[in-house]
Amino acid sequence: MEIYHGSTVIVQKPEIRTARFNKDFYFGFYCTVFRNQAERWATRFGDGVVNVYEYVENPDLKILRFPELSEEWLDFIAACRSGIPHSYDIVEGPMADDTIFNYVQDFLDQRISRNQFWEMARFKKPTHQISFHTEEALKTLKFVRGDEVHE
């Protein structure tokens, strides 16, 4: 399966980087199955690169999938964004776009209830992300090419 990673540079050898803020599925290397989404990631700060990888799933790895927004997805994101690590090699599921992210943050900050979150989020269309959290997980990716993209 072909997947994409948007960046400002070519990333031939993906790596897991810890950042100042926790991400949806904690620290990891994030990709998507949607090229246009990777293009948006790549051009957030100007011109960028869509890195293309061949992904071959390894059944020996611990993989968590969220096929859609769910209570389990929300609880998992809440834990990850609060800095609680997990033991999965790969996590795949909906991505909280800017609007949904704001709702998640409001939920984490206890400004809205769980019911209010779902009421507001139900009309939003989430995007996709697949994150790689271990060195073994990164071995499932083979760099194909980097395509320049422009704002």
Range of the domain at 121: 12-41+55-138
- State residue 100's pLDDT score: 79
Tell me the pLDDT band of 103, cut-offs 50, 70 and 90: confident
CA dihedral 112, 118, 119, 123 (to 10 degrees): 130
Q: 16 burial class (0-12, 13-18, 19+ CB within 10 angstroms)?
A: middle
pLDDT in tens, 62-79: 999 999 989 999 999 999
- Please check whether residue 64 lies inside any domain of the structure: yes
pLDDT in tens, 122-139: 777 778 999 999 999 999
pLDDT in tens, 4-57: 999 999 999 999 988 777 788 999 999 999 999 999 999 999 999 999 999 999
- Please check whether residue 110 lies inside any domain of the structure: yes
- Please check whether residue 127 lies inside any domain of the structure: yes
- Please give the tally of structural domains in the chain: 1
Place of tokens 């948006």: 40
Question: At 87, phi and psi to the nearest 5?
Answer: -110, 15
* Nearest Cα to Cα of residue 29 among 136, 112, 151, 149: 136
Residue % of the chain over a pLDDT of 70: 96
More confident residue, 106 or 121: 106
- Please check whether residue 143 lies inside any domain of the structure: no
User: In this structure, how many other beta carbons lie within 10 angstroms of the beta carbon of residue 13?
Assistant: 8
